[in-house]
Amino acid sequence: MKKYNRILLKLSGESLMGAQHYGIDPVRLGQYAEQIAQAAASGIQIAIVIGGGNIFRGVQGAAKGFDRVKGDQMGMLATVINSLALSSALTAAGCPSRVFTALNMYPIGEYYSKWHAIDALKAGEVAILAGGTGNPFFTTDTGAALRGVEVEADVMLKGTRVDGIYTADPEKDPDAKKFDKITYDEVYTRGLKVMDLTATALCKENNLPIVVFDMDTPGNLAKVLAGDPIGTLVY
């Protein structure tokens, strides 16, 4: 049995680098596309938001002297590049997809509309939602939360390079303990860097659960969708 019928999958742009230090690793991109195509073939409706950190981050640009608004706009364009790459990889995997952009960028992508995105999902296409919210000062995590609520997803799956949420950074603290489940409020009070606070608040206010899991291990997406207890549930 499927645990979810419609999901919002948030992917890290930085994870697309794979073994590289910049840009898009074709091996990692292919692994993502294969997992997504298999999930879509099972009948699950999939909307995707992908970050742009492998190409440009507005916050980092601002720290180096870029105007923050222009920097964030550059970051939005980076997410469009990643979205087009993912769409191309899905096509190669035999999975139909459609790219929507938060800013009007036709013919690169279709201008985002909740209704058109849901129509694409119902038609069996993967809807890739690019450009964040279309506004500066908002992260792609917030964009993912917003789109997840808009398209009426059952859950937001946040694919990262770690296998869940820990009490501390497991890459730096060997004593860090993993949570199987944690409430939105605990995320606040513990100051855990799951997502930015705007994204977490939006999910809480609209009862959109979040599952944080390791997307970089092939097969994990199928396990999460089947309800296997991997990752961490935020509720």
Beta strands in 65-149 (DSSP E): 97-101, 110-111, 126-130
Q: Which pLDDT tens digit goes with each residue over 143-200?
A: 999 999 999 999 999 999 899 999 998 888 989 999 999 999 999 999 898 899 999 9
pLDDT at 57: 83
CATH architecture of 6-193+201-234: 3-Layer(aba) Sandwich (3.40)
pLDDT at 13: 95
Q: Is the pLDDT of residue 1 over 60?
A: no
Mean residue pLDDT of the chain comes to: 95
pLDDT at 21: 86
Q: Which pLDDT tens digit goes with each residue over 93-133?
A: 999 999 999 999 999 999 999 999 999 999 999 999 999 99
Look at phi and psi of residue 164 and say left if phi exceeds 0, alpha if psi is from -120 to 50, else beta.
left
pLDDT grade for 58, boundaries at 50, 70 and 90: confident
Domains in the chain: boundaries: 6-193+201-234
Look at phi and psi of residue 124 and say left if phi exceeds 0, alpha if psi is from -120 to 50, else beta.
left
Distance between start and end Cα atoms, the chain: 22
% of residues, the chain, pLDDT over 90: 87
List the single range of 2-6, 25-29, 42-46, 114-118 with lowest mean pLDDT. Answer: 2-6
Beta strands in 112-219 (DSSP E): 126-130, 155-160, 165-166, 178-179, 181-182, 210-214
Judge whether 130 and 78 are in contact, CB under 8 Å. Answer: no
Radius of gyration in angstroms for the set of CA atoms belonging to the chain, rounded to a whole number: 17
Q: Is the pLDDT of residue 3 over 90?
A: no
Q: Rounded to an integer, what distance in angstroms lies between the CA atom of residue 83 and that of residue 42?
A: 22
Q: What is the pLDDT averaged over residues 47-63?
A: 89
Q: What single-letter amino acid sits at 129?
A: L
pLDDT grade for 63, boundaries at 50, 70 and 90: confident
Q: Which of 202, 211, 225 is nearest to 165 (CA)?
A: 211
